[in-house]
Every structure is written in C-alpha cells, then in structure tokens.
Amino acid sequence: MTELDREKALQRREAANNFWGSLDGPTLNGVVDDVWNERARQLDKWGVQERPTGVNAREYKPLEDMARARYEQNLANGSLTWADILKEEFYEALAEEDVAKQRVELVQVMAVAASWILDLDRRHIPEAERAAALEASRLRSVPGKFPTGHQVTGPLSA
C-alpha cells in the first residue's frame, strides 16, 4: 500500500466516523434503527401505500424561495436553525417535478432530519440516558448493516 493509499484510507475512515458518529456519542445507526422501526409500525398500520406525489412547482416554488431567503439571511447573520435548513430542503423537494431530482431532494430532507436528531441527542439527552441508548443500539445493530440485515452499500461499506 502506497503512502497515498494509506492517506486516502485514513480520510475515508475519518469521513465514516464523522458520518456514523463516534462511540462516545449518538450514532447514525441509532437514528436509522428508529426510522426503520417507525417504518415497520407504519407498514403494520397502513400496509404498502402508493399515492400521487402532490408536488407542484407553481404552488411550492414561492414557498421554496421564501424558505431559501430566510435560510440565506439567517446563515449570513449567524442565526441559522435546523428548522430553517429543513424547511428549505422540504420546499425544494415539493417544488421539484422531475422524479429523479425529487428523490435526491428527499434524501437531502432525510439527511438534514438525521443531523438534527443527532444534534438533539448530543446536546439535550442526559449522559446516562445517552449511554444506555448507545449500549442498546450496539446490542441490536450489526456494524455495517441495517437492523433488518440489509447490507449498506456505497463508499462507506468497505
């Protein structure tokens, strides 16, 4: 392995640690577990659903523009909130009529929501509760796999 290969491997490992969280704090695996459990609850209650998307550029573009303006204003003055970020991403998804691009926007919505949850966990969950939740998460999660055993794919799976 060359020095460049070692450096790239270290960068990937650091990126994965930043992405999944550290062992001393909340992790994305715990968030994924919570989301997966909620999806299972929804499936039990409603079954598989197929509905129209409800997106409409004419209706949601003005709301997207307002959310983006507030996002940029609050970013510039140092008062940006998770709600500002999520609203901007959410209205962007509702205004996008191209299905492939809409999917990208919805993934961004989920990523922002996950970041917000991790921030709540880090800053607002007492240490003892966080440690207990982390231990429970370790017991029910297999590294590199989702709770149901679906293999993680992509650059972080190696």
Tens digits of per-residue pLDDT, 36-75?
888 888 898 889 999 999 999 999 999 999 999 999 999 9
Q: Place 155 in a pLDDT band, splitting at 50, 70 and 90.
A: very low
The answer to whether the CB of 125 falls within 8 A of the CB of 133 is yes
pLDDT for 52: 93
CA distance 17 to 12: 9
125 secondary structure, DSSP code: S
Domain extents in the chain: 3-140
CA distance 28 to 88: 22
List, in sequence order, every residue forming a beta bridge with 145; answer none if it has no partner: 151
98 secondary structure, DSSP code: S
pLDDT for 10: 74
Is 78's pLDDT higher than 80?
yes
Distances (CA, A) of 50 to 40, 53, 54, 107, 112: 16, 9, 12, 18, 25
**Entry pTM:** 0.65
List, in sequence order, every residue forming a beta bridge with 114; answer none if it has no partner: none
The answer to whether the CB of 64 falls within 8 A of the CB of 91 is yes
The answer to whether the CB of 114 falls within 8 A of the CB of 34 is no
